[in-house]
Structure 1
Amino acid sequence: MLEEEYQRRRVLPRHLRAPVPQEAAFTYSIRAAEPRDLPDVREIHTHYVRNSSVTFDPSAFTFAAWKQRYDEIRRRGLPFLVAENPSGQVLGYALVDPWNPRDRSNHTVEDSIYLGAAAGGKGLGRALMEALIDDCRAAGVREVVAVIADRQAEASIRLHERLGFEEVGRMGKVGYKYDRWLGTVTMRLRLRGPRLFARGRASR
């Protein structure tokens, strides 16, 4: 056996092996959104508008539209949350809008959650949703509804299922994007009792 091949194949004792580089920890905190976060929120949402069918929105919202939405959510006392890393970069957001804008009671709301492209698959979506649900309960919300696209949104459906949402209906061909018809899955969570989740301040 050649010396080069021997050196390549041999297994060194643990104390002689080169250290394996450690992946940097995924660290974030979750807090209430502020007006300064809206450009980042808009950028995250625009990515999905332009690159996927998880939202049926045909074009990106203007900053003015986001500011109006933010102001209305705050006026009603409903949650609008962002997750950020230690350097202040917004990694994702979660919010609820009134299911019926004419209903002033806030009893039923619809959730929206979007993560930045590099933040998926790390537990952030669940942490944001847990915080959102707890804040909904604190705001007097009785029911959270999720209307999810039936294509490319399987992860969102699984997330809602794990948090106790139940499927209550499906509609086919109610949206059209990328030259194809899309349907929706409607899920519902009825809120009862005290908070179920701890507000997320986590690292992974």
Structure 2
Amino acid sequence: MITEVTIKDVTEITAIYNHYIRESVATFDTEEWSVEKMSERIQALSSAYPYIVFRMPEGKIGGFCYAHPWKEKDAYSRTLETTVYVSPEYTGRGIGQKLMEKLIDICRKRGFTTLIACITEGNENSFSLHRKLGFEQVSHFKKVGTKFNRSLDVIDYELIL
């Protein structure tokens, strides 16, 4: 079941995100987040932009997804960047796709015109998901991030709503 995020979700969302900080290059954050920092971020984003979670039948968070400003200048106000993370214990079940489909629908209904996904090289599951949802590759930045002593590329995908 997909619902809007609530403050009760912050601990599980923090744990999921910290897994990706420790174990992957899906995020360029290198230091784990505190529950307090995540709570502030969720409150700031969800007050103005879509922020949703996938609840498993037993009530646990299977994943989360949100949109946030792509750039800060007013001319970009109809364009958002998307973020989606699935709990490592629930990957491969289509949760990311369901979350992204719902997020796209919400963004369309709210009058946003463009979604951008910034994906680190090697994240083939994310590339595949975004292509399946109609996103098209629009850029490839080389060696723009460093994590785990590796220089990493970032590939941007775009969906015109």
Q: Kindly report which structure 2 residues correspond to 1:41-190, keeping only aligned pairs within 5 A, or say none.
A: 41-76=13-48, 78-103=49-74, 106-151=77-122, 153-190=123-160
Unmatched runs of 5 consecutive residues or more in structure 1: 1-28, 192-204
1:53-111: CA deviation from partner (whole Å, max 9, x where unpaired): 111111122223222222222332x1101001122100100001111235397401111
Shift of 1:177: 1.0
In 1: Cα distance, 2:100 partner to 2:126 partner: 11
Percent identity of the aligned residues?
Answer: 33
62-71 or 154-163, larger mean C-alpha shift = 62-71
Instruction: State the alpha-carbon separation in 1 of the partners of residues 33 and 130 from structure 2.
Output: 25
Please tell me whether the aligned partners of residues 106 and 140 of structure 1 are also in contact (alpha carbons under 8 angstroms): no
Instruction: Tell me, yes or no, if the aligned pair for 1:49 and 1:60 is still in contact at 8 Å.
Output: yes
Q: Normalized against structure 1, the TM-score is what?
A: 0.75
Deviation at 1:52, TM superposition (A): 0.9
Specify the code of the residue in structure 2 equivalent to 1:171. F
Higher strand proportion (structure 1 or 2) = 2
Say if 2:12 is the partner of 1:40: yes
Corresponding position of 1:200: none
Q: Is the 8 A contact 2:5 2:46 kept in 1?
A: no
* Distance in 1 between residues matched to 2:37 and 2:68, nearest whole Å: 14
Amino acid across the alignment from 1:165: F
- The number of residues matched between the two structures is 161
In 2: Cα distance, 1:38 partner to 1:105 partner? 29
Once superposed, which parts of structure 1, at least 4 consecutive aligned residues long, lie more than 3 Å away? 101-106
TM-score by length of 2: 0.94
Mapping for residues 2-21 of structure 1, pairs under 5 Å: none
